[in-house]
Amino acid sequence: MPTDTRYAFDNRAEEAADQLQVLEACLDPITAAHLDRLGVPPGAHCWEVGAGAGSIARLLAELAGPTGSVTATDLDPARLAGAGGSVLVRRHDVRYEQPPGGPFDLIHARLLLLHLPERHEVLATLAGALRPGGLLLIEEFDRSPLTVLTPVDPGEQALFSRVVGTVLTVLGDRGADLDWARRVHGAMTGLGLTEVRTAVHAESWSHDGGARLHEINSRQLQGPLLAAGLTLDELTRFRALVRRRDFSALSYTLVSTSARRPV
């Protein structure tokens, strides 16, 4: 059982800007394709939950246009300051607070519910905040085997697996569930949502792209990683490995699940 269920990362930490920027650079094209498929019509009222640095809130504002609205909420909106004039930014804890208005035509949350032990209740809250016919898109990382794709010696592969495995253990100790991504589909069906559809995406992450996330996470979580048994020497060698120009590893798998509230 997790002993401390506070969100593991800190949006005010020095590394948070880089962390959110790498997530947006890697994942926004995937999210944008799903939003394109689902259709966000002009005039739509949208809620971006756990909005991070706000790029998807800005995209939704573009799609919804001047007659629509976007509310971007986050437990800590420190990185949302520049979200843009047409995005309404609010500090909001989705676990305990009522939805910020609504009902909504579209609700999106990425890499949020996996961190929250209350994920089932939160999913029900989000489904309940949809207007009849409204759409929900939930995207989560899955526990994936993060295979190194470029030739490295067995010691380096073992180091990579050990550090990334310890990151996942630390997140798990804080209440994250890396198996939740595959349960979202069933949970949405159980809530009576329709048109439930799941798609997965993984790709190579190299030193100047997604692999940066490994280094950033290792810095943001350095204290808990050392407490969990890693040494500073291991973290230093891990950071040098993922920074290597020839380094590439398979990304976390992003599981995107969408559904509609029945009319």
Ligand X SMILES: C[S@@+](CC[C@H](N)C(=O)[O-])C[C@H]1O[C@@H](n2cnc3c(N)ncnc32)[C@H](O)[C@@H]1O
- Sign, CA torsion 15/143/170/177: positive
* The binder of ligand X chosen from 34, 45, 110, 207 (CB under 6 A): 110
Query: Could you give the 3-state DSSP secondary structure of residue 149?
Result: coil
* Contact between 11 and ligand X per CB under 6 A: yes
At closest approach, how far in Å is the CB of 46 from ligand X?
A: 14
* Contact between 95 and ligand X per CB under 6 A: yes
14-19 — which CB contacts under 8 Å span 24+ positions?
Answer: 15/216, 15/219, 15/220, 16/78, 16/79, 16/220, 17/53, 17/79, 18/212, 18/216, 19/213, 19/216, 19/217, 19/220
Cis check for the bond before 151: say yes or no (omega within 30 of 0): no
- Sign, CA torsion 174/175/179/185: negative
Cα 53 to the center of its chain, rounded Å: 12
What span, in angstroms and rounded, lies between the C-alpha atoms of 198 and 186?
10
User: Which listed range, 36-44, 91-99, 175-183, 228-236, lies at the site for ligand X (CB under 6 A)?
Assistant: 91-99
Query: Could you give the 3-state DSSP secondary structure of residue 46?
Result: strand
* Contact between 94 and ligand X per CB under 6 A: yes
Q: In the chain, which residue ranges form alpha helices assigned H by DSSP?
A: 16-38, 55-64, 119-128, 154-173, 184-190, 211-220, 222-227, 232-243
Whether 94 and 73 have beta carbons less than 8 Å apart is answered as yes
* Contact between 170 and ligand X per CB under 6 A: no
Which of 18/76 has CB closer to ligand X? 76
* Contact between 7 and ligand X per CB under 6 A: yes
Which of 46/116 has CB closer to ligand X? 116
Scan residues 114-133 and list those touching ligand X (CB under 6 A).
Answer: 115-116
At closest approach, how far in Å is the CB of 98 from ligand X?
A: 13
Which of 27/255 has CB closer to ligand X? 27
Q: What angle do CA 143, 144, 145 make, to 5 degrees?
A: 130
* Contact between 93 and ligand X per CB under 6 A: yes
Which of 148/251 has CB closer to ligand X? 251
Q: How many residues touch ligand X (CB under 6 A)?
A: 21
* Contact between 34 and ligand X per CB under 6 A: no
Scan residues 42-81 and list those touching ligand X (CB under 6 A).
Answer: 50-52, 74-76
- Report the residue closest to ligand X, judged by CB: 52
* Contact between 156 and ligand X per CB under 6 A: no
* Contact between 24 and ligand X per CB under 6 A: yes
At closest approach, how far in Å is the CB of 20 from ligand X?
A: 6
Interacting residues toward ligand X by CB under 6 A: 7, 11, 20, 23-24, 27, 50-52, 74-76, 92-95, 110-112, 115-116
